[in-house]
Amino acid sequence: QSALTQPASVSGSPGQSLSISCTGTSRDVGGYNYVSWYQIHPGKAPKVVIYEVSNRPSGVSYRFSGSKSGTTASLTISGLQAEDEADYYCSAYTTSNALVFGGGTKLTVL
Amino acid sequence: QVQLQESGPGLMKPSETLSLTCTVSGGSINPYYWSWIRQPPGKGLEWVAYIYSSGATNYNPSLKSRVTISVDTSKSQFSLKLSSVTAADTAVYYCARFMTSGLYYFDYWGQGTLVTVSS
């Protein structure tokens, strides 16, 4: 299984909105609606911000939203804040009952 | 609040077998799935394996020949063994709870433990 494809980096100014894409295949992203997104701050444990494509866990800011079209999922962060600066990873449950992650995207708040 | 804590050797030599343990507290180890995920320095996350509290397992095909995951519900622990390690196995190893039943995501994570393989 190959890693899902994410942009290496994205950046935006405070208050802006931006999206991170996650492209896979019909065996993973396109197979089920089981795409999740994780935020990792340096030295911290990963934190889930979106699961099942577009569901937000309790306690996660409404500024985080997710969507999917075909074999590409997207994480959108609106009203960008300094605290959003982190690494973001998508993950998908595959048709082989396995998990695959994206290569990760470094988000910089300018 | 569920908490997970990894424990491991820190430094290993090539060809040795890595043994990691994850202790679950603040909640029951039953009836959930539990997983190991790793992150080599400067690289992305890689799923390694998951196990159900009853013992059913699934492995990353690229690591399957070298990996064994097990669970000890009496100790609220699950473990990972990775044989014949090389420098490519140097990584931060995370343990996490894997939510299934139509959800399929990792909701609780440990802080991670760095394992370095070097001669």
The verdict on whether omega for the bond into residue B31 sits within 30 degrees of 0, i.e. cis, is yes
Confidence (pLDDT) at B93: 98
Residue contact A45–B94, C-beta within 8 A:
yes
Say yes or no for a CB contact (<8 Å) between A91 and B105. yes
pLDDT at A31: 93
A to B CB pairs, distance under 8 Å: 67
> A92 with A5: CB under 8 angstroms?
no
Residues of A in contact with B61 (CB under 8 A): 1, 96, 98
Chain centre distance of CA B86: 17
Identify whether the C-beta of residue A47 lies closer than 8 Å to the C-beta of residue A56.
Answer: no
Q: If you average pLDDT over residues A77-106, what whole number do you get? A: 96
Mean pLDDT for chain B?
Answer: 95
Q: What integer pLDDT is reported at residue A2 of this predicted model?
A: 81
Nearest Cα residue to B73 out of B32, B112, B114, B117: B32
Determine the average pLDDT of the residues in B1-22. 96
pLDDT class of B98 with cuts at 50, 70, 90? very high
- pLDDT bin (cut points 50, 70, 90) of residue B100 is confident
Chain B residues whose CB is inside 8 A of the A104 CB are 44-45
Quote the pLDDT of residue B74: 95
User: What's the mean pLDDT in B31-52?
Assistant: 95
State residue B69 phi and psi, 5-degree precision: -115, 140
Confidence (pLDDT) at B65: 96
User: Each residue of A14-72: pLDDT tens digit?
Assistant: 999 999 999 999 999 999 999 999 999 998 999 999 999 999 999 999 999 999 999 99
pLDDT value, residue B62: 94
Task: Judge whether residue B42 has pLDDT over 80.
Answer: yes
Question: How confident is the model over A69-88, as a mean pLDDT?
Answer: 97
